[in-house]
Amino acid sequence: CEALSKPLPARELKAILTKYRSMFDCSPDALRTALQNQEFFLKLQPKLALRERVISGFEALLRWNHPQFGEILPNKFIPEFEKHNLFKLLSDYVVEHSCISVKKIDASGCVPIQTSVNISAGDLSDLELANRLKRICSSNFVDPRQITLEITETVAMADPVTAMDNLTRLRLAGFKLSLDDFGTGFSSLAFLRNMPFNEIKIDMLFVREALRSKSDQTIIKAINSLGKAFNMSVVAEGCEDAETLDLLEKLECDFAQGFHISRPLTVDDAIEFLHSHSN
Protein backbone atom coordinates (compact mmCIF):
# COMPACT_ATOMS: atom_id res chain seq x y z
CA CYS A 1 0.00 0.00 0.00
CA GLU A 2 1.02 3.62 -0.39
CA ALA A 3 1.84 4.28 3.28
CA LEU A 4 4.41 1.51 3.33
CA SER A 5 6.26 2.74 0.28
CA LYS A 6 7.01 6.10 1.96
CA PRO A 7 10.15 6.26 4.11
CA LEU A 8 9.35 6.43 7.83
CA PRO A 9 10.33 9.60 9.71
CA ALA A 10 13.51 9.20 11.82
CA ARG A 11 11.59 9.56 15.07
CA GLU A 12 9.27 6.66 14.22
CA LEU A 13 12.17 4.50 13.08
CA LYS A 14 13.94 5.15 16.39
CA ALA A 15 10.81 4.19 18.35
CA ILE A 16 10.48 0.93 16.42
CA LEU A 17 14.14 0.10 16.92
CA THR A 18 13.88 0.80 20.66
CA LYS A 19 10.86 -1.49 20.86
CA TYR A 20 12.71 -4.32 19.09
CA ARG A 21 15.79 -3.82 21.24
CA SER A 22 13.74 -4.44 24.35
CA MET A 23 12.52 -7.67 22.74
CA PHE A 24 15.87 -9.34 22.04
CA ASP A 25 16.25 -12.90 23.26
CA CYS A 26 17.64 -12.97 26.81
CA SER A 27 17.02 -16.64 27.58
CA PRO A 28 19.88 -18.38 29.43
CA ASP A 29 20.77 -20.27 26.23
CA ALA A 30 20.87 -17.09 24.15
CA LEU A 31 23.08 -15.34 26.72
CA ARG A 32 25.47 -18.31 26.93
CA THR A 33 25.71 -18.54 23.15
CA ALA A 34 26.36 -14.81 22.84
CA LEU A 35 29.20 -15.12 25.38
CA GLN A 36 30.67 -18.10 23.53
CA ASN A 37 30.47 -16.17 20.26
CA GLN A 38 32.31 -13.26 21.93
CA GLU A 39 29.51 -10.84 21.03
CA PHE A 40 30.34 -8.79 24.14
CA PHE A 41 33.18 -6.28 24.15
CA LEU A 42 34.57 -3.64 26.45
CA LYS A 43 34.72 0.09 25.97
CA LEU A 44 37.17 2.02 28.13
CA GLN A 45 36.35 5.37 29.71
CA PRO A 46 39.38 7.46 30.78
CA LYS A 47 39.69 8.64 34.37
CA LEU A 48 41.49 11.96 34.89
CA ALA A 49 43.69 12.80 37.92
CA LEU A 50 42.58 16.36 38.67
CA ARG A 51 45.71 17.81 40.28
CA GLU A 52 48.14 16.42 37.74
CA ARG A 53 45.63 16.53 34.87
CA VAL A 54 46.84 13.18 33.56
CA ILE A 55 44.91 10.04 32.65
CA SER A 56 45.37 7.66 35.54
CA GLY A 57 43.21 4.77 34.42
CA PHE A 58 40.21 3.44 32.51
CA GLU A 59 36.85 2.01 33.51
CA ALA A 60 35.85 -1.02 31.45
CA LEU A 61 32.20 -0.79 30.39
CA LEU A 62 30.54 -3.75 28.72
CA ARG A 63 28.68 -3.59 25.39
CA TRP A 64 26.77 -6.26 23.48
CA ASN A 65 27.41 -6.15 19.75
CA HIS A 66 24.17 -7.93 18.87
CA PRO A 67 24.15 -9.50 15.39
CA GLN A 68 20.62 -8.16 14.76
CA PHE A 69 20.24 -5.06 16.90
CA GLY A 70 23.76 -3.61 17.05
CA GLU A 71 25.31 -2.12 20.16
CA ILE A 72 23.26 -2.70 23.31
CA LEU A 73 23.98 -0.93 26.63
CA PRO A 74 24.58 -2.92 29.85
CA ASN A 75 21.46 -1.77 31.71
CA LYS A 76 19.44 -3.74 29.15
CA PHE A 77 21.21 -7.10 29.54
CA ILE A 78 23.16 -7.26 32.82
CA PRO A 79 19.98 -7.68 34.90
CA GLU A 80 19.14 -10.66 32.65
CA PHE A 81 22.46 -12.35 33.44
CA GLU A 82 21.79 -11.75 37.12
CA LYS A 83 18.22 -13.01 36.89
CA HIS A 84 19.38 -16.31 35.34
CA ASN A 85 22.30 -16.70 37.75
CA LEU A 86 24.83 -16.31 34.95
CA PHE A 87 26.69 -13.44 36.57
CA LYS A 88 29.77 -15.61 37.29
CA LEU A 89 30.18 -16.41 33.60
CA LEU A 90 29.75 -12.72 32.82
CA SER A 91 32.19 -11.41 35.43
CA ASP A 92 34.80 -13.99 34.44
CA TYR A 93 34.42 -12.87 30.84
CA VAL A 94 34.70 -9.19 31.76
CA VAL A 95 37.77 -9.71 33.97
CA GLU A 96 39.45 -11.85 31.31
CA HIS A 97 38.81 -9.26 28.59
CA SER A 98 39.97 -6.48 30.91
CA CYS A 99 43.23 -8.41 31.41
CA ILE A 100 43.62 -8.67 27.64
CA SER A 101 43.18 -4.90 27.27
CA VAL A 102 45.61 -4.24 30.16
CA LYS A 103 48.24 -6.25 28.30
CA LYS A 104 47.49 -4.43 25.07
CA ILE A 105 47.80 -1.00 26.74
CA ASP A 106 51.06 -1.99 28.47
CA ALA A 107 52.46 -3.38 25.21
CA SER A 108 51.71 -0.06 23.45
CA GLY A 109 54.45 1.57 25.54
CA CYS A 110 52.23 3.60 27.90
CA VAL A 111 53.07 3.71 31.60
CA PRO A 112 51.11 0.92 33.31
CA ILE A 113 47.75 2.29 34.39
CA GLN A 114 44.85 1.07 36.46
CA THR A 115 41.83 -0.63 34.86
CA SER A 116 38.52 -0.63 36.74
CA VAL A 117 36.08 -3.49 36.28
CA ASN A 118 32.45 -3.58 37.43
CA ILE A 119 31.46 -6.79 39.11
CA SER A 120 27.94 -8.10 39.63
CA ALA A 121 25.61 -8.28 42.58
CA GLY A 122 25.84 -12.04 43.02
CA ASP A 123 29.65 -12.15 42.86
CA LEU A 124 30.04 -10.88 46.39
CA SER A 125 28.21 -13.88 47.84
CA ASP A 126 30.60 -16.37 46.19
CA LEU A 127 33.46 -17.09 48.60
CA GLU A 128 35.50 -18.45 45.68
CA LEU A 129 35.42 -14.98 44.03
CA ALA A 130 38.97 -13.91 44.98
CA ASN A 131 40.45 -17.23 43.86
CA ARG A 132 38.45 -17.17 40.63
CA LEU A 133 39.59 -13.67 39.70
CA LYS A 134 43.18 -14.26 40.81
CA ARG A 135 43.34 -17.34 38.55
CA ILE A 136 42.06 -15.34 35.56
CA CYS A 137 44.67 -12.62 36.16
CA SER A 138 47.54 -15.06 36.52
CA SER A 139 46.64 -17.01 33.39
CA ASN A 140 46.70 -13.69 31.53
CA PHE A 141 49.96 -12.57 33.21
CA VAL A 142 48.29 -9.53 34.81
CA ASP A 143 49.13 -8.39 38.33
CA PRO A 144 45.85 -8.01 40.30
CA ARG A 145 47.25 -4.72 41.60
CA GLN A 146 46.56 -3.27 38.15
CA ILE A 147 42.85 -4.09 38.49
CA THR A 148 40.30 -2.12 40.53
CA LEU A 149 37.00 -3.86 41.19
CA GLU A 150 33.96 -1.57 41.32
CA ILE A 151 31.11 -2.62 43.54
CA THR A 152 27.90 -0.63 43.93
CA GLU A 153 26.85 0.49 47.35
CA THR A 154 23.55 -1.38 47.21
CA VAL A 155 25.28 -4.64 46.29
CA ALA A 156 27.78 -4.44 49.10
CA MET A 157 25.01 -3.68 51.61
CA ALA A 158 22.82 -6.69 50.77
CA ASP A 159 24.86 -9.08 52.92
CA PRO A 160 27.52 -7.02 54.72
CA VAL A 161 29.12 -9.95 56.59
CA THR A 162 29.83 -12.04 53.47
CA ALA A 163 30.68 -8.88 51.54
CA MET A 164 33.29 -7.95 54.16
CA ASP A 165 34.81 -11.44 54.03
CA ASN A 166 34.99 -11.35 50.24
CA LEU A 167 36.31 -7.80 50.02
CA THR A 168 39.09 -8.67 52.47
CA ARG A 169 40.06 -11.73 50.38
CA LEU A 170 40.12 -9.58 47.24
CA ARG A 171 42.39 -7.01 48.90
CA LEU A 172 44.72 -9.77 50.13
CA ALA A 173 44.88 -11.06 46.54
CA GLY A 174 46.09 -7.59 45.48
CA PHE A 175 42.95 -6.12 43.84
CA LYS A 176 41.98 -2.53 44.59
CA LEU A 177 38.37 -1.88 45.56
CA SER A 178 36.06 0.96 44.63
CA LEU A 179 32.61 1.79 46.03
CA ASP A 180 30.53 2.75 42.97
CA ASP A 181 27.51 5.10 42.77
CA PHE A 182 28.12 6.35 46.30
CA GLY A 183 25.48 8.51 47.92
CA THR A 184 22.32 7.08 46.39
CA GLY A 185 22.25 3.66 48.10
CA PHE A 186 21.80 2.77 51.71
CA SER A 187 25.29 2.41 53.15
CA SER A 188 26.01 3.85 56.57
CA LEU A 189 29.16 5.66 57.63
CA ALA A 190 30.00 2.69 59.86
CA PHE A 191 29.93 0.52 56.73
CA LEU A 192 32.27 2.86 54.91
CA ARG A 193 34.62 2.97 57.89
CA ASN A 194 34.77 -0.83 58.20
CA MET A 195 35.02 -1.91 54.56
CA PRO A 196 38.44 -2.07 52.90
CA PHE A 197 37.72 0.24 49.94
CA ASN A 198 40.54 2.19 48.27
CA GLU A 199 38.20 4.53 46.41
CA ILE A 200 34.73 6.08 46.49
CA LYS A 201 32.88 7.12 43.33
CA ILE A 202 30.41 9.95 43.80
CA ASP A 203 27.21 9.15 41.92
CA MET A 204 26.69 11.39 38.90
CA LEU A 205 23.36 12.50 40.35
CA PHE A 206 25.34 14.93 42.56
CA VAL A 207 27.78 15.96 39.84
CA ARG A 208 25.56 16.79 36.91
CA GLU A 209 23.76 19.68 38.65
CA ALA A 210 26.68 20.73 40.85
CA LEU A 211 27.28 24.07 39.08
CA ARG A 212 23.78 25.24 39.90
CA SER A 213 23.20 23.44 43.18
CA LYS A 214 24.85 24.59 46.41
CA SER A 215 23.57 21.51 48.22
CA ASP A 216 25.20 19.19 45.66
CA GLN A 217 28.46 21.09 46.17
CA THR A 218 28.14 20.60 49.92
CA ILE A 219 27.59 16.86 49.43
CA ILE A 220 30.62 16.55 47.12
CA LYS A 221 32.79 18.44 49.62
CA ALA A 222 31.57 16.23 52.47
CA ILE A 223 32.34 13.02 50.53
CA ASN A 224 35.81 14.39 49.79
CA SER A 225 36.53 14.97 53.48
CA LEU A 226 35.24 11.47 54.28
CA GLY A 227 37.56 10.09 51.62
CA LYS A 228 40.53 11.92 53.12
CA ALA A 229 39.66 10.80 56.65
CA PHE A 230 39.34 7.16 55.58
CA ASN A 231 42.32 7.26 53.25
CA MET A 232 40.20 6.57 50.15
CA SER A 233 40.54 8.51 46.93
CA VAL A 234 37.41 10.11 45.51
CA VAL A 235 36.23 10.00 41.90
CA ALA A 236 33.43 12.21 40.57
CA GLU A 237 31.36 10.54 37.84
CA GLY A 238 29.39 12.25 35.09
CA CYS A 239 31.52 15.36 34.47
CA GLU A 240 29.97 16.81 31.30
CA ASP A 241 31.65 20.23 30.88
CA ALA A 242 34.81 22.24 31.59
CA GLU A 243 33.17 24.39 34.30
CA THR A 244 32.16 21.31 36.27
CA LEU A 245 35.69 19.93 35.91
CA ASP A 246 37.13 23.12 37.46
CA LEU A 247 34.52 23.05 40.22
CA LEU A 248 35.35 19.41 41.04
CA GLU A 249 39.01 20.34 41.38
CA LYS A 250 38.12 23.28 43.62
CA LEU A 251 35.99 20.98 45.78
CA GLU A 252 39.09 18.75 46.08
CA CYS A 253 38.00 15.64 44.20
CA ASP A 254 41.00 13.48 43.31
CA PHE A 255 39.70 12.15 39.99
CA ALA A 256 36.94 12.81 37.47
CA GLN A 257 35.24 10.78 34.77
CA GLY A 258 32.66 11.87 32.25
CA PHE A 259 31.75 12.72 28.69
CA HIS A 260 33.66 16.04 28.92
CA ILE A 261 36.91 14.12 29.43
CA SER A 262 35.93 11.34 27.07
CA ARG A 263 33.10 9.00 26.18
CA PRO A 264 33.86 5.30 26.59
CA LEU A 265 36.28 4.31 23.77
CA THR A 266 37.21 1.11 21.96
CA VAL A 267 40.49 -0.35 23.24
CA ASP A 268 42.43 0.93 20.21
CA ASP A 269 40.97 4.44 20.55
CA ALA A 270 41.68 4.38 24.29
CA ILE A 271 45.36 3.64 23.59
CA GLU A 272 45.49 6.49 21.09
CA PHE A 273 43.79 8.79 23.61
CA LEU A 274 46.32 7.82 26.26
CA HIS A 275 49.28 8.52 23.95
CA SER A 276 47.93 11.90 22.90
CA HIS A 277 47.19 12.93 26.53
CA SER A 278 50.47 11.94 28.17
CA ASN A 279 53.25 14.44 28.60
Binding-site ranges for Mg ion (CB under 5 A): 118, 150, 180-181, 237
CB-wise, 12 or 162, nearer to ligand C2E? Answer: 162
CB-wise, 168 or 184, nearer to ligand C2E? Answer: 184
Quickly list DSSP for the chain: -HHHHSPPPHHHHHHHHHHHHTTS--SHHHHHHHHHTT-EEEEEEEEEETTTTEEEEEEEEEEEEETTTEEE-HHHHHHHHHHTT-HHHHHHHHHHHHHHHHHHHHHTTPPP-EEEEE--GGGGG-TTHHHHHHHHHHHTT--GGGEEEEEEHHHHHHSHHHHHHHHHHHHHTT-EEEEEEETSS---HHHHHHS--SEEEE-HHHHTTTTT-HHHHHHHHHHHHHHHHTT-EEEE----SHHHHHHHHHTT-SEE-STTT---B-HHHHHHHHHHT--
Among 39, 165, 209, 240, binds ligand C2E (CB under 6 A): 240
Measured from the CB of residue 238, what is the shortest distance to ligand C2E in angstroms?
4
Q: Is there binding between residue 199 and ligand C2E (CB under 6 A)?
A: no
CB-wise, 166 or 257, nearer to Mg ion? Answer: 257
Q: C-alpha distances in angstroms, 69 versus 8, 18, 22, 65? A: 18, 9, 10, 8
CB-wise, 7 or 248, nearer to ligand C2E? Answer: 248
Q: Is there binding between residue 181 and ligand C2E (CB under 6 A)?
A: yes
Query: Where in 66-125 is the site for ligand C2E (CB under 6 A)?
Result: 73-75, 78, 94, 118-120
Measured from the CB of residue 10, what is the shortest distance to ligand C2E in angstroms?
22
**Cα distance between the two ends of the chain:** 62
CB-wise, 108 or 184, nearer to Mg ion? Answer: 184
Among 180, 199, 216, 254, binds ligand C2E (CB under 6 A): 180
Measured from the CB of residue 170, what is the shortest distance to ligand C2E in angstroms?
15
Q: Is there binding between residue 185 and ligand C2E (CB under 6 A)?
A: no
Q: Is there binding between residue 205 and ligand C2E (CB under 6 A)?
A: no
Pick one of Mg ion, ligand C2E, none as the site partner of residue 120 (Cβ within 5 to 8 A by kind): ligand C2E
Residues of this chain that interact with ligand C2E (CB under 6 A) are 45, 61-62, 73-75, 78, 94, 118-120, 150, 180-181, 204, 237-240, 257-259, 264
